[in-house]
Amino acid sequence: MVHINQKDLLDLTALLADHPLGGREAGSIDLGRLTSLLGKDWGFEHTARLNLAKLRESVGPGLPAAVTRTVEDRIAGVLTALDKGSKSLGWQMRARVGERVQWYELPEDVRH
């Protein structure tokens, strides 16, 4: 989500607080799958990084210190995995363009 809201940030906080980073273990966030998926789509990875940055800025107030540290550590772990993950040729080519060209589409406002 390019335009992430407070509820989405709270959902991400809960997800990272409750699920360790790992492989294919039940209940963990599969970093291999995540890096594989995002390493094929620059826009998707870029949006994920933007959202993790927003999450890093918002986490803390109202949470126990231990939970805040856990979420911050897991954000750092995801970012490290993304940095180390392989990138497709398409990802690399799109990365050269960067934000100069819009990388996302906004959904149409459907009213009934």
The DSSP result for 24-37, as a single string, is: S-TTSEEHHHHHHH
pTM of the model: 0.89
1-35 residue pLDDT tens: 889 999 999 999 999 999 999 988 889 999 999 99
Q: Hey, where are the domains in the chain? A: 6-99
Mean pLDDT, the chain, rounded, equals 94
User: Helix crossing, 65-84 with 42-58: angle to 10°?
Assistant: 160
pLDDT digits (tens, 9 = 90+) for 40-95: 999 999 999 999 999 999 998 889 999 999 999 999 999 999 999 999 999 999 99
Measured at the alpha carbon of residue 22, what is the angle toward residues 93 and 40, in degrees to the nearest 5?
A: 15
